[in-house]
Amino acid sequence: MIKTNYLVIGSGVAGLTFAVKIAEKFPKRKVVIVTKGDEDESNTKYAQGGVAIVLDAKEDSFQKHIQDTLIAGDDLCDASVVEMVIKEGPQRFKELLDWGANFDLDPEGNFDLGKEGGHSEYRVVHHKDITGFEIERALLKKVHQLPNITLLSHHFAIDLITEHHLENSNSEVISCYGAYVLNQKTGKIITLQSESTLLASGGIGRVYGHTTNPIIATGDGIAMAYRAKAQIMDMEFIQFHPTALYNREGGSSFLISEAVRGFGALLRNKEGYRFMPDYDERAELASRDIVSQSIDNELKKTGDTHVFLDCTHLDIKGFKKHFPNIYEECLENHIDIEKDWIPVVPASHYLCGGIVVNKDGKTSIPNLFACGECTRTGLHGANRLASNSLLEALVYAHNIFKYHSENSISPINFTLPEWNDEGTSIPKEHILVQHNLLQLQALMRDYVGIVRSKDRLTKAIDHLDFMYKEVEDLYKNSKVATSLCELRNMINVSHLIISQSLERKDNKGGYFNIDHLNN
Ligand code: FAD
Ligand code: SIN
């Protein structure tokens, strides 16, 4: 048993930002961060394009950024949240600078601003094409300077502790008291008791085999919150990034940042035809949902497996300076961007929905907060505007910190039960986990992809039901193992994506169903 004041699940931008703020403000209180991989492994680490912030008052304005966000979200954003997040952006960015994160400057010494799809102005601050890596570096450095933070890497949060785990509890209200956490190195399960718990566990990209996300993105926090009966919304809005490097084997895919299109790269089919102007007047810089759906349509028309991003006309010196990582990765894949077009295809990238939170980051469960990609704040609506995600995490981490600074949380004055694994054994059939994972990813790719239909979604629910029963059975009889828990979580998350897709009756942003063409 470990007792703490604040438990943070996840060490990406959302979790680390909150941890740093609360630990600095209350040096006598304890903060524990658990994270299931190496301490820096997260979607944050791979963020390329940057953070969308209004800094250039001459060309840009809050109003323009607000408008771009609302248009991308296709009428489903919460306008008051959009305004709050965008107006707070510059202050939160200043804090990042104070904590030592470096961002590129232009020759005049101003912040170098990039442009991405759906943005009407240049407003994306960045550190070359490895912005997330730089933010993660700076935040972890701060974390290690604060003695009241304990960071436990390779610790996997299995489930939230709520009334469901308390014997003889007949409370109607479900509250959160911490989490059961697996030490992945020793196999021991810790009861981590906390007055306040923050889920900052990131996205769900791995539910689809073909994704820009690293292996940690298995939707654990959303699944835990769902099992604890928290409100979850907008799960049908999966964002597919239009330009992941084509990888014949599927699986993980390296991202070619949207900022490359902002720099002037053009999308072509294999005949060399530039097709995006046929779909949207903003062409390559239309919002992500439109570019991904257009590529999908081109691939269906031609039967090709991928399209191409043409950078051959661009200033190569400027390209190498802005995108050194992308340039190197292409070379490693035998693509010389000066001469060759880059083969690209859409891949699952970001979840716009998630655990419902209010402006203080409160979920529907008392003492449970959530921040970052695992949440549904109302900022993104049906489709996130590029580079609004790091911004959202920074702003909400601050709001959650502010809430905790101004409100006390009751101490827990009863004993939490230890994890009970009576009657379970070490599973002998690991093949079942691997087989079901591959089946799940194929199901989500083929039945719940960029273009959906009622028939495919209904079939998907039936297939999933079968997998759910098999995996629940295995889970109940097995000693806890990370891969099995992740599979169970991904099945929960897939269920939410499919069932909420079936509930939607019109096409919006990232949700496109061929049966709703006339709605
Ligand atoms: P993450 O950074 O994903 O962190 C989640 C953490 O939770 C990880 O540490 C993980 O290990 C941990 N965790 C998960 N489950 C458990 C568990 N069960 N137990 C313990 N720990 C757990 N957004 C932008 O705004 N601009 C960009 O330029 C940009 N580029 C991107 C490029 C790529 C390739 C990708 C994948 C995403 C990009 N995004 C970008 C999106 C953005 O990076 C993420 O949405 C954001 O970083 C999410 O931060 P987070 O802290 O919520 O989650
Ligand atoms: C990118 O660099 O294209 C990713 C930006 C984002 O996901 O916001």
Q: Which residues line ligand 1 (CB under 6 A)?
A: 9-15, 34-37, 41-44, 46-51, 131-132, 156-157, 200-203, 212-213, 216, 220-221, 255, 350, 372-373, 387-390, 393
The whole-number pLDDT of residue 134 equals: 98
- Reply yes or no on whether the pLDDT at 43 is more than 80: yes
- Reply yes or no on whether the pLDDT at 425 is more than 90: no
The whole-number pLDDT of residue 385 equals: 97
Per-chain mean pLDDT for the chain:
95
CA angle 468, 493, 480 (to 5 degrees): 60
DSSP state of 168: T
- Reply yes or no on whether the pLDDT at 455 is more than 80: yes
- Reply yes or no on whether the pLDDT at 514 is more than 90: yes
The whole-number pLDDT of residue 55 equals: 95
Identify the nearest ligand to the CA of 265 by its number: 2
Distance 408 CA to ligand 1 centre (A): 29
The whole-number pLDDT of residue 170 equals: 72
Nearest CA to ligand 1 atom 40: 47
CA dist list (Å): 63 to 79, 126, 359: 11, 22, 20
Residue-wise pLDDT for 87-98, tens only, equals 999 999 999 999
pLDDT level of residue 414 (50, 70, 90 thresholds): confident
- Give buried/exposed letters for 26-53 (b at 16+ CB in 10 A, else e): eeeebbbbbbbbebbbbbbbbbbbbbbb
Q: Which residue in 471, 478, 391, 377 sits closest to 426, CA to CA?
A: 478
Q: 124: Cβ–Cβ under 8 A, 6 or more apart, which residues? A: 49, 50, 51, 52, 53, 113, 114, 115, 116, 259, 262, 386, 387
CA distance 220 to 202: 8
Q: Which residue in 95, 110, 102 sits closest to 128, CA to CA?
A: 102
Do residues 244 and 333 lie in contact, with contact meaning Cβ atoms separated by under 8 Å?
no
Q: What are phi and psi of 211, to 5 degrees?
A: -150, 155
Sole residue written with tokens 């101004």 = 406
The whole-number pLDDT of residue 35 equals: 98
Token readout for 104 is 């590129």
- Mean pLDDT to the nearest integer, 265-294: 96
Domains of the chain, earliest start first? 2-236+352-406 (3.50.50.60), 245-347 (3.90.700.10), 431-516 (1.20.58.100)
The whole-number pLDDT of residue 432 equals: 87
The whole-number pLDDT of residue 189 equals: 96
Q: Which residue in 67, 111, 114 sits closest to 90, CA to CA?
A: 111
The whole-number pLDDT of residue 57 equals: 81
Residue 288 catalytic?
yes
Ligand 2 proximity of 17 Cβ (cutoff 6 Å): no
